[in-house]
A and B are shown apart, each in its own frame.
Chain A
Amino acid sequence: MKIGEVVAASVIDGLVAKLQIADPEELRIAYPVIVEGDRYDFYCLVEDILNEESDVAKQLAGSAIKDVVLPRGESDEGYAGPIFYSMAKLRPIQLIEKETGELSEPQTIPPYFSQCRYATKTDVDLIYEPSEKSAPIGTISGVEKFYVHLDFGKLVEKPFAIFGRTGTGKSILNKLVCCGILARDAASVLLFDMHSEYGVFSKTDNTQGLKYWFPDKVEIFSLDPKNQEAHPFLLNTGEITPEDLIIALQNLSPPMVDALYEIDKDRGSRDLIAAIKHASMEELGEERAHEMSLAALKRRIGRLDRLPFLSPTGKDAFGQMAQLIRDGRSVVLDFGDYGTDQTVYLFVANVISRRLFDLYTERNAEFPRLILFLEEAHKFLDPAVADLAPTFSRLARETRKFNLILALIDQRPARISDEVRSQLANRFVMSLKEPNDVEAALAGVPDKGMWTNILSKIPVRTVAVMGDAIRIPTVIDVMNYDPEHVKDHIVGHDRITEDRLAKLASKADEVFGR
């Protein structure tokens, strides 16, 4: 259906169309639109919709005259369409050569008066061609139901991120991404499951977790000893380093950090936590530590000292976890009751990730590709801690060489260092309110102005996807995370048999103590 004609065009600034639809409310930001040039179809996204200022409109507005026909789009048709018309700013994203269907970058403009119409399924089919490793995560707005495929093979090659403020649907999107990765055998995943969402069933909304869909591929570890279905997670306190504590405790003052390193130097065979507990000014001396800083450090370490999964006896689950990963399994580390304790999360995530980093860099050939999902990523990657705790910065920078890929999930992208953000090959950006977060989420993205406009109005459960896992940057309505959609579009129907389903379901109550 024709919606307008091009009245201005620029390769740099995009196109302007005079709309011929009676009601501008039919069109929305980020809808895909086709502009029909002579040689190319210009696949565009709606960047803005506007009613330009008009002296006549100003003069007529507020008229108290009765028995008149108001000049609105649907009631007054002038010699060239509605007398009062709206305009749309369109951003060409891709050119489709009419004869061959070949795609290319928009390096030219269509002629004046080129017709604009809504994109159809046939148009988008040409752009989003499915591949062996692709699966959809949702549909495009403004087109008849069309599931957009994401190439999970390409996605897992380099670090990526999911950005969005609280309540926008990051967890649902992340589950769909994980399902896509596992369903297409693109990689294994490791998730730090703070809220028990990714195991068999989600504790928060009772939806299916990864273990439900992929019982043979996913192993659950739990910090909570009550969870009998999961492998128990124990951590040898001897493996703890100053970096783990700097991340876990956040905002340690520089004198406290200095004291921490001094204690680490002298700890000998003792673990670091025990060494801090027993450290004294007599041993350290005033030149190496300040009395107040040492006292503060001891107070803050007290929180970790009481954690039951810390094993001073040397027991450690990391070896078992690493073995499973080497065998191609994915791991969900369930935090159980500790999920609400941010210190625990930061501490455990840092310890595991650091050790995985060491493992992958030393014995890379033995391990399959692993995607390490990191929630609250800015707490690990804040420039303020990045120098003191460099594991994640190094992970982002280097580990694609070693098959260990970082996936960041965060609501404050502005607090992630530029260097790390610049390594992201794919971004899933949901609604963000802080301008500096929008700016950071879009750093380095072409047509940033347009995406800023789009993100300022993007609804919840909608995501702008940009990067090499998708043919063109696209706004996607995230699909419902329910058995029907996940089975139909990602996992497939033959993956879970009735028997296995019943068996899993019967265990769900035990797992969650219902």
Chain B
Amino acid sequence: MSFADEMKTELAKALQAHVEVPIPADKVPEFHPFEPAEGARDLVAVDGSYSFLLNISSWWLALVSVALLRYRFDGEAYHREDWRLVQRAAGVSTWKEYVETQDERLRALYEFTRNASEPHREMVNELRRFIEGEVAANYATDSRDLIVAVDGALQEFPKRFEVMEHLVKACERQGHVLVGVSKDSQLHAFGHVLTDEDFLKRCEARSGGNGLAFVRAPASVPIAQKGLLLGDVYYVRFHGRAPKWFRVDVGTHKDDPEYVFGQLAPYCRSLISIGYPLPLLEAHRMAVTVRQLRGAYQEMIIRTATRMGMDIRQVLDGLTEMEGRKRGAFHEYLDRVSRGLR
């Protein structure tokens, strides 16, 4: 059997399992239509990113960047009213003896991620979520009656750190609507071979409506989650022409999801991001500047490290690419050579 035949066979199997697979009528979930609010509250969007800058053996220096943007929508245009950009440098290690010399939070992160395939990335990713939670909670404490939208699920782990819980409480206290919007969800809470988002897309035609709608996630979702879930989980289509359903965790106003989604929907009308809140897109764009500017930060490292007496070759050898991989790693060298050869 040639590789072309193998491809054909595999495609046929996948099509049968994913595209042609029937969805019985009793499995189609209940779709709840809703309307966008006439006058939406201001929306505060929080998202973060990180960049690895330097690697020495089992230790990485990372820069975490969290962006907060506050927007107002006047029915026709989105206006940026306020912003924060918080950046933190952190050293993460996968060597236990070294981790024991670090603070409690990093020690906890080490424990939480030690079985991951790339624990240094997992650690920094969790650290980013901590900082996002802190930034959002601080802003929520100092304001009232906003929509606070964070990136990703509203969940806490490791459980003993309560940052997200602190955010939920601050939002409850200050009258905010709190949501966590996941860009992509890979859950199979509906118990189908399709992911929940794809499953809902298949079902929507049969639901009879093509406007704004939400679906409550099955009870299995909290069980499937790894950490402590702090909100009610829904899947929402925020615009009639939205290309996908988004998982949305509702942290406050849990008894009135229709109101919550109605408040969010006006922010999902920009042609750039139909169905997804524009402020979250912008917060993401702002946060990822930490990756775009990695070269500038690395220059700072070179200057600082050499001034501190480090050998320049060692510093240059430790500079990292996107995911913490050393520039000098051998397979990076092979990749460069492969790109250069015809």
Contacts and interface: CB of A to CB of B under 8 A. Distances in A.
Interface of A: 56, 60, 63, 65, 67-71, 74-80, 83
Contacts of B79: 77
B333 interface: no
Given A65-B274, A69-B271, A75 B286 contact: no
B283 A60 contact: no
B77 interface: yes
B96 to A, nearest CB: 40
Interface in B48-86: 67, 69, 71, 76-80, 83
Closest 8 CB pairs of A and B: A75-B77, A79-B286, A68-B271, A77-B80, A79-B282, A65-B241, A69-B269, A69-B270
Contacts of B269: 67-69
Contacts of A74: 77
A70 B282 contact: no
Contacts of B274: 65, 68
Given A75-B76, A79-B83, A68 B270 contact: yes
B240 interface: yes
A83 B282 CA distance: 9
Contacts of B78: 69, 75-77
Given A76-B78, A76-B278, A77-B80, A71 B270 contact: yes
Contacts, number: 54
Contacts of B223: none
B77 A80 contact: no
Contacts of A78: 80, 282, 285
A80 B286 CA distance: 8
Interface in B18-74: 67, 69, 71
A69 B83 contact: no
Contacts of B240: 67
Interface in B188-225: none
Contacts of B285: 78-79
B7 interface: no
A77 B45 CA distance: 14
Nearest to B282: A79
Contacts of A83: 272, 282
Contacts of B83: 79
**What size tier do the contact residues of chain B reach?**
20 to 34
B239 interface: yes
Contacts of B67: 79
B174 to A, nearest CB: 24
Contacts of A56: 272
Interface string B285-303: 1100000000000000000
B241 A76 contact: no
- Does more than half of chain B's interface fall in helix, strand or loop, or is it mixed? mixed
B188 to A, nearest CB: 30
B286 A69 contact: no
A115 B272 CA distance: 28
Contact of B80 (A65, A67, A75, A79): A79
A426 B271 CA distance: 52
Nearest to A80: B286
Contacts of B278: 76
Given A76-B270, A77-B79, A79-B80, 14 more contacts: A63-B271, A65-B241, A67-B239, A68-B269, A68-B270, A69-B78, A76-B77, A76-B278, A77-B71, A78-B285, A79-B83, A79-B282, A79-B283, A79-B285
Which of B67, B271, B282 gathers most chain A CB within 10 Å? B271
25 contacts: A60-B272, A65-B241, A68-B239, A68-B270, A68-B274, A69-B76, A69-B78, A69-B270, A70-B271, A71-B270, A71-B272, A74-B77, A75-B78, A76-B77, A76-B78, A76-B270, A76-B272, A77-B77, A77-B79, A78-B80, A78-B282, A79-B67, A79-B80, A79-B283, A83-B272
Nearest to B85: A79
Which of A56, A68, A69 gathers most chain B CB within 10 Å? A69
A69 B273 CA distance: 10
A65 B241 CA distance: 7
Contact of B271 (A65, A77, A79, A80): A65
Interface in B254-295: 269-272, 274, 278, 282-283, 285-286
A54 to B, nearest CB: 11
A71 B271 contact: yes
Given A78-B285, A79-B285, A69 B80 contact: no
Nearest to B77: A75
A65 B210 CA distance: 14
A79 B272 contact: no
Nearest to B241: A65
A79 B239 CA distance: 23
A506 to B, nearest CB: 64
Nearest to B266: A69
Contacts of B282: 78-79, 83
B32 to A, nearest CB: 20
Nearest to A84: B272
Contacts of A69: 76-78, 269-271
Nearest to A78: B282
A79 B69 contact: yes
A439 B270 CA distance: 47
Contacts of B270: 68-69, 71, 76
Contacts of A68: 239, 241, 269-271, 274
A439 to B, nearest CB: 43
Nearest to B71: A77
Contacts of A77: 71, 77-80
Contacts of A75: 76-78
Interface in B130-187: none
B53 to A, nearest CB: 22
Contacts of A76: 77-78, 270, 272, 278
Interface in B62-116: 67, 69, 71, 76-80, 83
Contacts of B69: 79
Contacts of B71: 77
Nearest to B81: A77
A469 to B, nearest CB: 47
B219 to A, nearest CB: 34
A107 to B, nearest CB: 27
Contacts of A80: 286
B284 to A, nearest CB: 9
A53 B271 CA distance: 18
A63 B271 CA distance: 8
Nearest to A68: B271
Interface in B232-259: 239-241
A260 B274 CA distance: 84
A78 B283 CA distance: 9
